[in-house]
Amino acid sequence: MLKQVLISTAGFLFATAVSLSPAMAGGEAEVLHWWTSGGEAAALKVLKDDFAGNGGTWKDMPVAGGGGDAAMQTLKARVVAVDPPTAAQIKGDSLLSAQVANHMKCDGFTKYCAAPVNIHRIDWFWANKKVLDAHGLTMPTSWDEFNAAASKLQAAGIIPLAHGSQPWQDATVFEAVALGVGGNEFYQKAIVELNMDALSGATMVKVFDQMRTLQGFTDEGAPGRDWNVATGMVMEGKAAFQIMGDWAKGEFTNAGLKPGIDYYCLPTPSDHGYLYNVDSFIFYSMDGKSKIEGQKLLGSLMMGKNFQKVFNLYKGSIPARLDVPMDEFDMCAKGSAADLNYSAMTGGLQPSFAHGMALRLAQKGAIQDVVTEHFNSNMSSHEATRRLAQAVKASL
């Protein structure tokens, strides 16, 4: 069980904070997070309500911006000013698979740093069922099939791919394509190990080719669009598909829509790959009884079995705890849990770089910058590949 919470972010290491015991009544917590979309807010409300129900006082500190880049800037500034929030949403990850648990430990992988609340899968297609049905299409199981379906939809006046071209969204699509077009070993070498041959080779060129093809399936309004607005386009049938992590399912759920009836979910094509991303909360070393009680209460609630079920039903993700029954979850979540186990056994379970699970900030930034520059220009795939290897090299 999660017994201790250490504090570590952006290279700042704080003293050991609290040890979590069963929920204590009361306490206060200022919680920094980036869950501001409809589905995200509905999921967070589960925690807010549990906290209040146990006598806690919640001070909300939302920082809008999908993917959390803006929130991380705010968190860094607060930490530098030695004014950290009581708890902050971060990336990383335990009653958990060994791979996920490693993200949650610091100090030479011996002590836990933060409480993990979920496992999000990144590599998903979301699609409007009516639109696909009306055009005689089924969910694509290869990238070529996707390209053919998207071309058909485009010819019929439908936006094939709802997308918001913000750097983190471009990177989200890129990593799904890299895993799918390149394969598990390629992803591991290029994106996790930053192997120069993989970063600069012919397979990477193919990955950028597919990115260019995808870009051609987006609409003129894509640059800068928020991810949840893009999900809304799929819900309304203005667009057919979105490639996005399963927080997108939180939006469908929040709108009362059901998988298999209103929309489809299917992993993007790959050789049983699975890109994971874990949301966690980090607890900072605090003075003051009330704040420490607030941390204890929050930590114990977050790691509770029932919370991990209810929260994830809203959030679109699956529980980080491995012992939560999945029977109340929908087909997408059940599929995600089954695939996670299978991929873990067969080498396909890979960390998301776009969501801070694979690389340090400098390397993540180097890749993301090139990916988004390529996507939002007419840069050739060869040039993008050359720049990618160069940027990663310079960042090491």
Q: Which residues bind ligand BGC (CB under 6 A)?
A: 34, 40, 66-68, 120, 247, 277, 279, 355
Shortest Cβ contact with ligand BGC: which residue?
A: 247
Q: Which is nearer to ligand BGC, 140 or 319 (CB)?
A: 319
Residue 11's contacts (CB-CB under 8 Å, 6 or more residues apart) are: none
What the block records as the tokens of 365 is 């930034």
Q: Which is nearer to ligand BGC, 134 or 229 (CB)?
A: 229
Q: Which is nearer to ligand BGC, 26 or 65 (CB)?
A: 65
Q: Which is nearer to ligand BGC, 203 or 268 (CB)?
A: 268
320 within 8 A of 118, measured Cβ to Cβ: yes
- In one letter, which amino acid is 136? G
Nearest distance in Å: CB 199, ligand BGC: 23
Nearest distance in Å: CB 309, ligand BGC: 17
Nearest distance in Å: CB 97, ligand BGC: 17
- Pairing relationship of beta strands 111-112 and 105-106 according to DSSP bridges: antiparallel
Nearest distance in Å: CB 351, ligand BGC: 12
Separation between Cα atoms, residue 145 and residue 322, nearest integer Å: 34
Nearest distance in Å: CB 41, ligand BGC: 10
* Backbone CA torsion sign across 337, 340, 346, 348: positive
Q: Which is nearer to ligand BGC, 48 or 111 (CB)?
A: 48
Residue 175's contacts (CB-CB under 8 Å, 6 or more residues apart) are: 122, 123, 187, 191, 275, 352, 353, 354
For the chain, how far is it from start to end, CA to CA, in angstroms? 36
Q: Which is nearer to ligand BGC, 56 or 67 (CB)?
A: 67
Nearest distance in Å: CB 177, ligand BGC: 18
* Backbone CA torsion sign across 66, 172, 134, 257: negative
Separation between Cα atoms, residue 101 and residue 115, nearest integer Å: 10
Query: How many angstroms separate the Cα of 54 from the Cα of each of 21, 315, 340?
Result: 14, 22, 34
Nearest distance in Å: CB 211, ligand BGC: 20
DSSP conformation letters of 108-137: TTTEE-EEE-EEEE--EEEEEHHHHHHTT-
Q: Which is nearer to ligand BGC, 67 or 269 (CB)?
A: 67
